[in-house]
Structures are given as C-alpha cells and as structure tokens.
RNA sequence: UGUCCCAUGGUGUAAUGGUAACACUCCGGUUUUUGGUACCGUCAUUCAAGGUUCGAGUCCUUGUGGGACAACCA
C-alpha cells in the first residue's frame, strides 16, 4: 500500500508555516463561530468541515462559539438547531462557547482603551457619523466628540452601561484614523445601546459589543491559534489586529485571522437572508423543506452527513470566486447512498399489465435481493400475480431497437420474476393506453436455475403486484431555481428565478414489504432513484421524499 | 476616480522555479436480471504582453477581466 499524501490547501500551508516558524503544535486550536440568528446551510457546512477537519487533521481541539452580540436578531432556538446540525455532521466540539460569556471582560478592556485615550463616546446621530466617515475613495473627517476627556468618556460609557440613555444617543468608538484607506479603521463602533433582552444574559446588559470588537478578543480569550473566515472579512483583518494589539499578552497565543472563499453552489442561494425570504413567502414549507439547502433541509431530503463531508472535502478550499455545480454534491450523495441503501421496487407512474396466460387466482411469493452486489444484505419476499403495475413509460406499442423496454412482440424481464412478451394493449376513447397485455414464459422464473431463466434479455423492468400494492405518497423535488446563479443577476431579483415546478406530489405503488420502513430510512427504488421516508408519514400513509434520481443515460438517448 | 484580493479544461481543486495532475460533468466503450453500480477511454500548452532564468502556471512589470470595502449586522 502506497501512502498517497493528499496535497495541502493554502490554509494548511499557513498552519504548517506557522509550525515551522516556531508555533508549538500543542498551541493549535480552531473554532467555528456562527451567529445564532438562523439555520445553517450548505455554505456553513463547508466552513464546519474546514475548521473541524483541521481539528481532525492536526488532532487539536475545535470550539463551537456562538457569536451572540446582537439580541435583536438572535434566539435560543437557533443555538439548539446549530448544535444539532454540527453534531449530525459528525463533529464534536471541545468547548461550547458564547461571545456573551465575555461581555464583562470585553467591557473591562473597553474601559482600558478609554483610559488609554484609544476609545471615546460619540454623541452624534448615525447620519452625522456616516457623513464624516467619507467613502472608499474619499477620506473621512474627525467628528466633534473625538477629543472628549477621558473622564467624560468614562462617565458617559458608564451611563450607557447603566441604561441612562436610549438607543442611538451615544456609542463608543475606537479612536484610530478617520483618513485610513480602510473604511473599517475610521473610528469603528465598539459598543451600542440595545434595549432588548438577550437570550442568555437577559436584561443584565444595556450595551452590546460589535462584531469587530468581539471576535478577535473572543479568539484570544479562547486561545484560538487560527481564526478562519470568509473573504468578505479580509478588510476586517487590520482592525482585528489593531484590537488585539491593545490587549494582547506576549506570553499567550496571538490568534491569526485568515480568509477563504465562500462556496457557491449552483441552482441555489446560500445566504440566510435569502433562504429566509423563501420561507416567509411560502415558496417552501419551512427551513427544513427538503428543497432547501439548509443542513436541516438536506437532512430531511435524505442527504447523508458523509456525502456532505465528502463533497466539502473534494471541492477543497481556495480564494477565488466560484460556482460549484450541484452535480458535484449529487455525485457524492449517490456515491454514499449506493453503498448503504437497500433496493426495492416502487412504480411511480403505474399502469396495469395483465399476464394473460398466468392463472387467475394464483399468487407466488418470490425472493428479491436487497443488494445486487452484496448478498449478505439479505433477501425479501415479493408477491407476484396475474395483474401487476409497471411504469407507464416502460411500454410502447412500437419502438426502435434502442428502446430496451416492453413493446409488442418483444420480451423483457420482470426483475426477480419472469420474462414476459408484449402482446398488445387496451385504449380508452381518447386513445390513451389503459391496460397492457402480455404473456409470460413459465420456465423463466428468476433464480430457478432453468435454462429459460438464464436467457440474455436486454431489458429489465421493476413492477409491483396490483392486489398487494401499497399506495404511498411520493414527493418529487427539482432544483429550487431555474438558473445556475440566481443571485448574481444585475437587474433581476433572485426570487424571479424560483422554479415553479420544484415539487410534484404523486401517489405511487410500492411493494408491500416497504410498510416496515421507518422515518428517515433511505432505499433505492430500482431504476428510479433514492427515496427516504419523510416525518410527515402517518400510520395510514407512507410519505417519501425523492432524495436524488439515479444517473439516467436513457433519458439522454431518448431526448 | 482610492485601498485590497483573485485569475489553470465546461465545473471545482493540484502542481511549493524542472514532464500541467485529480475529481465531477460531457462524449464514447466493456460488464450488468437496475439504461444503476463497477471498469476503460477522449476532452487545457495555465487571461494578455513584456521581463528575470538553462528552464516560468509558479518570480517581476504593465495591462485586461472579476470581486471586496461607506449597517448603532455578523
């Protein structure tokens, strides 16, 4: 066995460089820092796999930290949902942390900055401050409160903390450089007054720290060695470092922020705000609608954690803009499901087929394997009789030789059963086929070992015995958007690209053994795709989600 | 009329100055009681122009194209 070494990505290069430059390996520590203001999506999954993957690669701890500094948007239910999603992906965090745990420390450090003359209370309106801030191409100017005395700043900040002021009256700003090329360095806001209860600290605090003031200091408090975030935070790095400079102790690990490109997946949106709009406008039934690319939606759809991890791993990590084709994700999904899903028969678009030379009241119990490749997965019993259902599209009165399925005068094999020959069909007044007639070769039973059963027949169909068929609801999903990149159009809003046919609900005919499936279980409907049992299932009705179709080369030939 | 980031097949990544590699997709083929799976094969001289070098996808310069930055959001 040759030990094929997977090449490093640039993130791993950064870490190994640091290790080579004197960072002790036992100081390595990472974190995944979501804001609990919504559900995690496939984009977060990439970040989770990156950070926790690093933890696994270097065998070092990873914290799950909630960046909960804005009580106006955050809720405890999101904390629970995020924890569930991370666990479902198969990762274990070292410490469960909250930025809100550091409010006191952050406050004390802010006092320190005020005393150093590096922070001040500004009492202007946000409009006035915005006007002074300049633009990316024009420098800002100093505001009138910039040179308040330390005593006055201390008193005002204390008042803010005590709830003496309303929202918007005063804020605390870092005193850096209003002329900096970097807008974020133009005296960024550190604290604002928010009169809202926090999901963890209740009404203890009237002031809340901003992201920039919180993030690096939280990394430092947790002694995170490497703090990875997406590219749009690149301009924040200078501020991250400036804030760290104010408080860092040289004996401790100084966290390093580095940025990677977020992953964009075709035919979907990966933005909490946009996903929320789909929920609000009832385009989908909720955050866990199987069409949603939230982790909870993918889970309900039947995606496996392994498929998501393998996907994240295979697309790697980079710094350039990207649009990863959904095919990549579906490849890894099929790859995993192919290994773990038992095979069954279910007819999605049933039409009755009568085997005219089969005894009227006879029912045979046939054996069907659960896996073509792996006999150890066992067998199940499938009833066979004179009247069965097959897929409507599997029969044509006449067809060219590329059509391997049932046609008049030609033979096909019924999976795990007999070889039949098309004899004709019955049509209604409009010419629609209502019933197909066929004859069977009694010596051709699958597994009988007879010469007839061994015959090479090009086509094999799945089927279900009509009398024993189990009607089930099947939800067929298609892409949520009709274009690969719905949210990059300059003129049109992404909502204009919503696919109106992303859901089709049908009643299908399943083999009776399927009534024993449990919620969440995935099976392969042979020749049709992978399907999982939805939680909407009741004692009376089984509900399936189509997780993904099989690859279908016939669809291309036929088109 | 600023600062910063990015540029390798249709897609995503690799090549760490020395033969452009891997996966997906597409197309073609072999096997198959799933038109599935598995297996095999075809598909790029690296945005452009200069420069450094024995040698450049990689380093330098200048273009070109794309992106980020002006929330009391994260």
ipTM of the complex in this document: 0.95
pLDDT tens sequence across A139-174: 999 999 999 999 999 999 999 999 999 999 999 999
Count how many Cα atoms sit within 13 Å of the Cα of residue A194 in the half-sphere of its side chain.
Answer: 21
Taking all residues of chain A, what is their mean pLDDT, rounded to a whole number?
A: 96
- Is A3 a catalytic site residue? no
Q: Which of A168, A92, A84 is nearest to A125 (CA)?
A: A168
Average pLDDT over residues A418-426: 98
- Which residue is closest, via its CA, to the C1' of B37? A338
Strands (E), A406-467: 406-407, 411-414, 419-427, 433-440, 460-461, 464-465
Average pLDDT over residues A341-361: 98
pLDDT tens sequence across A218-275: 999 999 999 999 999 999 999 999 999 999 999 999 999 999 999 999 999 999 999 9
Q: Which nucleotide is nearest to A69 (CA to C1')?
A: B74
- Residue with the two structure tokens 């550190």: A190
CB under 8 Å to A511, separation ≥6 — which residues?
A: A344, A345, A346, A382, A383, A464, A465, A468, A469, A470
CA of A263 to C1' of B61 (A): 33
Q: What is the pLDDT of residue A490?
A: 84
pLDDT tens sequence across A297-325: 999 999 999 999 999 999 999 999 999 99
Q: Which nucleotide is nearest to A446 (CA to C1')?
A: B33
CA of A6 to C1' of B13 (A): 12
- Which residue is closest, via its CA, to the C1' of B4? A235
CB under 8 Å to A214, separation ≥6 — which residues?
A: A67, A69, A99, A102, A106
Per DSSP, the residues of A34-81 read: --SSS--BHHHHHHHHHHHHHHHHHT--EEEEE----TTT--HHHHHH
Label residue A3 by pLDDT band (50, 70, 90): very low
Chain B positions under 7 Å from a protein CB? Answer: 1-8, 10-16, 23-27, 32-38, 66-74
CA of A329 to C1' of B69 (A): 32
Q: What are the structure tokens assigned to A108, written together?
A: 């004390």
Question: Coil, strand, or helix at residue A504?
Answer: strand
- Is A343 a catalytic site residue? no
- Which residue is closest, via its CA, to the C1' of B10? A325
Q: Which nucleotide is nearest to A232 (CA to C1')?
A: B68
Q: Which nucleotide is nearest to A552 (CA to C1')?
A: B35
Q: How far apart are CA A306 and CA A335, in angstroms?
A: 10
Q: With a cut of 90, say whether residue A558 has pLDDT above it.
A: no
CA of A27 to C1' of B25 (A): 42
Average pLDDT over residues A208-213: 98
Q: What is the pLDDT of residue A6?
A: 81
Burial category of A381 from C-beta neighbours within 10 Å (exposed 0-12, middle 13-18, buried 19 and up): exposed
Count of C-beta atoms within a 10 Å radius of residue A253: 19
To the question of pTM greater than 0.90 for the whole model, the response is yes
Q: Which of A27, A83, A196, A262 is catalytic?
A: A262
- Is A262 a catalytic site residue? yes
CA of A59 to C1' of B29 (A): 45
CA of A554 to C1' of B19 (A): 40
Pairing of strands A470-477, A543-549: parallel
Q: Which of A60, A175, A272, A546 is catalytic?
A: A272
Q: How far apart are CA A500 and CA A128, in angstroms?
A: 45
Q: What are the structure tokens assigned to A127, written together?
A: 């409009």
Q: Which of A12, A27, A35, A146 is catalytic?
A: A35
Q: With a cut of 50, say whether residue A64 has pLDDT above it.
A: yes
Q: Which of A212, A274, A173, A270 is nearest to A67 (CA)?
A: A212
pLDDT tens sequence across A77-136: 999 999 999 999 999 999 999 999 999 999 999 999 999 999 999 999 999 999 999 999
Q: How far apart are CA A300 and CA A302, in angstroms?
A: 5
- Which residue is closest, via its CA, to the C1' of B2? A137
Label residue A1 by pLDDT band (50, 70, 90): very low
Q: With a cut of 50, say whether residue A541 has pLDDT above it.
A: yes
Whole-angstrom CA distances from A483 to A160, A249, A266, A325 are 49, 51, 8, 11
Q: Which nucleotide is nearest to A35 (CA to C1')?
A: B74
CA of A128 to C1' of B48 (A): 46
Residue A543: what are its φ and ψ, rounded to 5°?
Answer: -120, 130
Q: How far apart are CA A20 and CA A14, in angstroms?
A: 10
Q: What is the pLDDT of residue A5?
A: 65
pLDDT tens sequence across A375-403: 899 999 999 999 999 999 999 999 999 99
Q: What value does the CA radius of gyration of chain A take, rounded to a whole number of Å? A: 31
CA of A307 to C1' of B59 (A): 40
Q: With a cut of 70, say whether residue A48 has pLDDT above it.
A: yes
Q: Which nucleotide is nearest to A316 (CA to C1')?
A: B13
Per DSSP, the residues of A255-293 read: -EEEEEPPP-BTTS---HHHHHHHHHTTSSSSTT-TTS-
pLDDT tens sequence across A484-506: 999 998 889 999 999 999 999 99
CB under 8 Å to A74, separation ≥6 — which residues?
A: A35, A36, A37, A66, A68, A198, A199
């Amino acid at each position: 066995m040759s030990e094929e070494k997977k090449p490093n990505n640039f993130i791993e290069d950064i870490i190994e460089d640091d290790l080579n430059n004197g960072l002790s390996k036992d100081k390595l520590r990472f974190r995944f820092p979501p804001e609990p203001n919504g559900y995690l999506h496939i984009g977060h999954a990439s970040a989770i796999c990156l950070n926790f993957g690093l933890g696994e690669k270097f065998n070092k701890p990873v914290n799950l930290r909630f960046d909960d500094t804005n009580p106006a948007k955050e809720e405890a239910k999101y904390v629970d949902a995020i924890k569930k999603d991370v666990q479902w992906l198969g990762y274990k965090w070292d410490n469960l942390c909250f930025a809100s745990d550091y409010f006191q420390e952050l406050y004390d450090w802010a006092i320190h900055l005020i005393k150093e003359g590096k922070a001040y209370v500004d009492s202007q309106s946000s409009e006035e401050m915005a006007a002074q801030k300049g633009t990316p191409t024009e420098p800002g100017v100093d505001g009138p409160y910039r040179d308040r005395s330390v005593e006055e700043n201390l008193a005002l900040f204390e008042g803010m903390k005590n709830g003496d002021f309303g929202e918007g009256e005063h804020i605390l700003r870092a005193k850096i450089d209003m002329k900096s090329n970097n807008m974020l360095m133009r005296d960024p806001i550190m604290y604002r007054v928010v009169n809202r209860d926090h999901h963890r600290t209740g009404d203890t605090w009237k002031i809340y720290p901003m992201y920039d003031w919180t993030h690096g200091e939280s990394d430092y408090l947790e002694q995170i060695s490497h703090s990875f975030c997406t590219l749009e935070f690149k301009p924040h790095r200078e501020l991250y470092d400036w804030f760290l400079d104010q408080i860092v102790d040289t004996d401790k690990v100084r966290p390093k922020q580095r940025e990677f490109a977020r992953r964009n997946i075709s035919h979907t949106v990966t933005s909490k705000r946009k996903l929320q709009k789909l929920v609000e406008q009832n385009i989908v039934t909720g955050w866990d609608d199987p069409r949603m690319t939230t982790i909870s939606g993918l889970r309900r759809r039947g995606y496996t954690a392994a498929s998501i991890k393998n996907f994240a791993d295979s697309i790697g990590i980079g710094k350039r803009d990207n649009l990863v084709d959904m095919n990549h994700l579906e490849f890894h999904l099929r790859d995993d499901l192919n290994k773990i899903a038992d095979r069954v028969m279910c007819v999605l678009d049933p039409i009755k087929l009568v085997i005219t030379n089969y005894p009227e009241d006879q029912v045979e119990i046939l054996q069907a394997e659960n896996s073509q490749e792996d006999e150890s997965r066992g067998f199940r019993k499938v009833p066979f009789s004179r009247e069965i259902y097959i897929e409507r599209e599997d029969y044509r009165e006449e067809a060219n030789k590329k059509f391997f399925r049932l046609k008049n005068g030609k033979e096909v094999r019924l999976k795990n059963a007999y070889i039949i020959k098309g004899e004709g069909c019955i049509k209604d007044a409009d010419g629609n086929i209502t019933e197909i007639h066929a004859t069977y070769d009694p010596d051709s039973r699958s597994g009988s070992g007879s010469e007839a059963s061994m015959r090479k027949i090009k086509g094999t169909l799945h089927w279900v015995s009509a009398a024993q068929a189990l009607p089930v609801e099947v939800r067929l999903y298609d892409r949520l958007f009709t274009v690969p990149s719905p949210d990059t159009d300059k003129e049109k809003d992404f909502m204009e690209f919503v696919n109106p046919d992303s859901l089709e609900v049908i009643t299908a005919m399943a083999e009776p053994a399927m009534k024993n499936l449990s919620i969440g279980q995935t099976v392969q409907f042979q020749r049709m795709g992978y399907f999982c049992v939805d939680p909407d299932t009741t004692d009376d009705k089984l509900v399936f989600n189509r997780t993904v179709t099989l690859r279908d080369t016939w669809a291309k030939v036929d088109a």
